[in-house]
Homo-oligomer: A and B are copies of this chain.
Amino acid sequence: MTCSGDQLLEMLSALANPHRLRILATLSSMGRTYVSQLAREIGISRPLLHLHLRKLEEAGLVTSRLEISPDGKALNFFEVAPFAIELTPAAIAEAAPSLTATSRHSDS
């Protein structure tokens, strides 16, 4: 799996957080779940979980789908995306050149 430097960086940033690692681990073990249930399972507040899920989804590591349960409740189900990132010096050397500047002062 070869991806752009920026995309790699976005995934790494999404993964570099204990809560988000736990979220992925839980989703990987339990399979699909909806937000409130996942918040209870992990033991963090819903707004906080929502924040982390958004970051994970933007990085393409999880996917969501809104579904209507039999009793009419709108549930937002999340599941892990089947990613596989190989992190080696060579892979990083290949991806790094395509990193955009992203500096806020100057890049002369």
Residues of A in contact with B (beta carbons under 8 Å apart)? 5, 8-9, 12-13, 15-18, 21-22, 24-29, 43, 80, 82-90, 92-93, 95-97, 99, 102, 107
Contact = CB atoms under 8 A, between A and B. Distances in A.
A12 to B, nearest CB: 4
Nearest to A11: B87
A52 B96 CA distance: 16
Given A25-B93, A25-B97, A93-B25, A87 B15 contact: yes
Given A12-B12, A15-B12, A21 B89 contact: no
A92 B24 contact: yes
- Please list the 4 inter-chain residue pairs (A to B) with the smallest Cβ-Cβ separation, ordered nearest first: A25-B96, A85-B87, A28-B89, A12-B16
Given A18-B99, A87-B84, A87-B87, A92 B25 contact: yes
